[in-house]
């Protein structure tokens, strides 16, 4: 957005409470890799230009990419500036920060949708003896005490964290709700390549059959790994991870309750993936 405003000669400033790419610096686990290939990191006038387009960025590489973009477009970023209030003043807005005040005609809230961890209400009934971390606060297995671990959620983040903890020597139980299992490589190419080429990623919100349901469907079970392997429930089972159904609640005496048939949820996941692969096959036939 800063680049677009600059191209239109619109004066603006970016207020950042920390450093550039702050959420990537402070709210991600250490071993994270992007689940999208390097070539898919594209910003206006700026894209990956390295020698590993089919690889997956590490966390430091993501931070460097965003910092390089900010420098390339000379983004007017005011770092370590925390906004404390925004108020309309009749002709625009008064923005108060811990480093002074700003007056402007327009305010864009670009704080993102994932900077506050979402916890179900029943999380308050987790016994005090059980340590609880969110994906936002988890960094590495060194934070986790020895013994069994339950990871709740089996989309991209959950499967990656479950694998890392299992490899560290802990017995992991993964709570699986509705999700979409997906192959990392299909017909010799990354699944994201097919989705990009076939136009799946270009689908507009008003072209989706049921937009409300689509917004509730978790992300694909994809992971970026150096060897481009598929990380799904079968791979986790092979590594010794135990699977249970969706965590539905916790009783007053601290017992976890699970809902849904794991077999049915996996079958539904495979059906959704089959539909996507059918679309890709159809595109491949039509385009040689």
Residue 268: which H helix or E strand, with range? Answer: helix 262-286
Condensed to tens digits (0 to 9), the pLDDT of residues 89-141 reads: 888 999 999 999 999 999 999 988 777 888 999 999 999 999 999 999 999 99
pLDDT at 101: 95
Q: Where are the domains of the chain?
A: 2-104, 121-286
Q: Are 151 and 134 in contact (CB under 8 A)?
A: no
Condensed to tens digits (0 to 9), the pLDDT of residues 55-95 reads: 999 999 999 999 999 999 999 999 999 999 999 988 899 99
260-279 mean pLDDT: 68
Q: Whole-angstrom Cα distance, residue 273 to residue 266?
A: 11
286 falls in which pLDDT band (50, 70, 90)? confident
269 falls in which pLDDT band (50, 70, 90)? low
pLDDT at 94: 96
Q: Are 79 and 19 in contact (CB under 8 A)?
A: yes
Residue 220 falls in which region: left (phi positive, over 0), alpha (psi -120 to 50) or beta:
beta
Expressed in percent and rounded to 5, the helix, strand and coil fractions of the chain are 35, 20, 45
Nearest to 270 by CA among 138, 184, 179, 152: 179
266 falls in which pLDDT band (50, 70, 90)? low
pLDDT at 267: 57
Burial class (CB in 10 A: 0-12, 13-18, 19+), 143: exposed
pLDDT at 270: 65
The residue written with tokens 């036939």 in the block is 285
In whole angstroms, how far apart are CA 142 and each of 26, 28, 139, 163, 186? 17, 15, 8, 14, 35
Percent of the chain with pLDDT over 90: 65
Torsion of CA 139, 258, 130, 126, to 10 degrees: 110
> What's the CATH number for 2-104?
3.50.50.60
Neighbour count for residue 191 (Cβ, 10 Å): 23
pLDDT at 219: 76
What is residue 125's DSSP assignment?
G
156-166 mean pLDDT: 94
pLDDT at 275: 73
272 falls in which pLDDT band (50, 70, 90)? low
Q: Which tokens sit at 229?
A: 């392997």
Beta bridge partners of 257: 249
Q: Whole-angstrom Cα distance, residue 179 to residue 232?
A: 10
Whether the per-residue pLDDT at 176 is higher than 60: the answer is: yes
pLDDT at 263: 67
Whether the per-residue pLDDT at 30 is higher than 90: the answer is: yes
What does residue 9 show for φ and ψ, rounded to 5 degrees? 55, 40
Whether the per-residue pLDDT at 253 is higher than 60: the answer is: yes
Of 117 and 288, the structure prediction assigns the larger pLDDT to: 117
190-195: which pairs have CB atoms within 8 A and are 24 or more residues apart? Answer: 190/37, 190/54, 190/228, 191/220, 191/222, 192/36, 192/37, 192/40, 192/222, 193/37, 194/280, 194/283, 194/284, 195/276, 195/280
Neighbour count for residue 217 (Cβ, 10 Å): 13
217-236 mean pLDDT: 87
6-19 mean pLDDT: 95
pLDDT at 57: 95
Q: Are 16 and 22 in contact (CB under 8 A)?
A: yes
Residue 189: which H helix or E strand, with range? Answer: strand 189-190
What is residue 21's DSSP assignment?
T
Q: Whole-angstrom Cα distance, residue 165 to residue 144?
A: 9
User: Mean pLDDT of all residues in the chain?
Assistant: 90
pLDDT at 112: 80
134-160 mean pLDDT: 94
Gyration radius from the chain CA atoms: 22
Whether the per-residue pLDDT at 268 is higher than 60: the answer is: no
pLDDT at 114: 74
Whether the per-residue pLDDT at 42 is higher than 80: the answer is: yes
């Amino acid at each position: 957005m800063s680049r677009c405003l600059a191209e239109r000669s619109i004066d603006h400033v970016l207020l950042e409470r920390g450093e550039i790419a702050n959420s990537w610096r402070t709210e991600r686990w250490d071993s994270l890799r992007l689940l999208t290939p390097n070539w898919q990191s594209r910003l206006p006038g700026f894209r990956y230009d390295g020698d590993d387009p089919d690889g997956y960025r590490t966390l430091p590489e993501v931070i460097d990419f965003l910092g390089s973009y900010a420098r390339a477009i000379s983004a007017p970023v005011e770092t370590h500036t925390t906004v404390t209030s925004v108020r309309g003043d009749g002709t625009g807005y008064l923005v108060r920060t811990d480093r002074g005040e700003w007056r402007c005609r327009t305010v864009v809230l670009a704080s993102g949708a994932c900077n506050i961890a979402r916890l179900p209400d029943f999380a308050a009934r987790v016994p005090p003896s059980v340590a609880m971390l969110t994906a936002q606060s988890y960094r590495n297995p060194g934070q986790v005490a020895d013994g069994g671990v339950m990871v709740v959620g089996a989309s991209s983040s959950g499967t990656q964290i479950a694998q890392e903890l299992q490899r560290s020597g802990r017995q992991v139980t993964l709570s699986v709700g509705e999700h979409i299992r997906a192959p990392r490589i299909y017909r010799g190419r990354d699944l994201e390549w097919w989705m990009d080429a076939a136009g799946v990623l270009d689908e507009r919100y008003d072209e989706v059959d049921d937009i409300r349901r689509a917004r509730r469907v978790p992300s694909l079970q994809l992971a970026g790994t150096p060897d481009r392997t598929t990380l799904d429930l079968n791979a986790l089972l092979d590594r010794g991870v135990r699977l249970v159904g969706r965590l539905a609640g916790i009783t007053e005496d601290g017992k976890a309750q699970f809902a849904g048939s794991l077999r049915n949820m996996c079958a539904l996941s495979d059906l959704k993936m089959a539909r996507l692969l059918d679309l890709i096959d159809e595109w491949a036939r039509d385009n040689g």
